[in-house]
Amino acid sequence: MNFALSDEQCAFIDVAGEFAREQLAPNAAAWDEQKIFPVATLRAAGELGFCGMYCPAEVGGSGLTRMDAALILEELAQGCTSTAAYLSIHNMAAWMVATWATERVRRDWAGSLAAGTKLASYCLTEANAGSDAASIATTARLDGDNYVLNGAKAFISGAGDTDVLVVMARTGEAGAGGISAFAVPSDTVGVSFGKNEPKMGWNSQATRTISFENARVPATHLLGAPGEGFAIAMRGLEGGRINIAACSLGAAQATLDMTQRYLSERKQFGQVLADFQALQFRLADMATELVAARQMVYKAAWALDSDHPEKTAYCAMAKRFATDAGFKVCNEAMQLHGGYGYLRDFPIERFFRDARVHQILEGTNEVMRVIIARRLLQPNGTENLK
């Protein structure tokens, strides 16, 4: 078993790390405080291939593996976790358009999304359909050559600032089998956006409700076949869970690095904090849990890239473990920085706030446990998940 990264992957890390240090980190505090969606910076990320990381090359994407994308997102999240997390969502939506759209829609949208000249939002969640995503109530009724959408989506990242919405809507019976997916231009008549929700973190990207009132979308904007929307959404979320886990790794790594420097510089009781064995132990535990989480993310990415039969469970495991461990490391970093960690003048509290929501989105960690447990309780479940 070889844990070494390839030369190409090391190059990806170097480029992403430089972008994070030069373009994200210096601006992250202002974006957070002023709630700025950094469109120009996102387009600059697109120029480096970071907006279509696993979109196929034939539509202008980078054609990278999910492992490659995880490495890049971890580096980007060390600069600004909120912006890296939006990029993870955009990549998921762009990949869905590139994979399942009709030829016409792929021609019109996929290349622009992969290049970052157009941006996307993923629209599954509703006010009464969060963890129970199969119960969505937004409808899409076929009327001639158009689908007519009615309903509302909630907690949509980038909504109001993006160009295309990947929308799950009900075209058939109740349950997962009645859901279809659509690529909806955000300027479609009948589409409107709510206020930017005040949030604990993720302030460099807006979170809004979206309302659909007789919004007419050409039937050619259907992604896949009618009734395939829920399956498409879940396929997207498998990769999305790895992505958001990688963003948690980045936040944790950034705060671990800050903590190591702080303990080596700060003096109390006549000696630097790093000389206190109790604090050494806490730093060691932070690093150990981070490395363990990283290995789980890598295994899940490998499972997805290799189409392993247990990829869904491995992605759920990685998301659950890495987002919990990542937030725990950020929390420990704040504690070890004392009062300074709690001040907005220092970045620890921003990483803490931005990493917290990762335990909720892309499927809550409670739902991840449900997915894992259901697989374990099937025949040969514990044998296969080794």
Would you please indicate which residues are annotated as catalytic (active-site) residues?
A: 362
Tokens linked to 209: 């409700």
CA distance 314 to 298: 10
Return the DSSP state at 126: B
User: Which stretches does DSSP call E strand in 301-341?
Assistant: none
Helix (H) or strand (E) holding 217: strand 207-218
Tell the burial category of 35 from Cβ atoms under 10 Å away from its Cβ (0-12, 13-18, 19+). middle
Q: What is the separation of C-alpha 163 from the centre of its chain, rounded to a whole number of angstroms?
A: 18
Q: Tokens 């921003």 — which residue?
A: 350
Residue 74's nearest CA partner among 355, 349, 357 is 355
CA distance 148 to 335: 52
CA distance 354 to 297: 19
CA distance 84 to 248: 10
**Cβ-based neighbours of 336, under 8 Å, separated by 6 or more:** 259, 262, 263, 273, 279, 282, 283
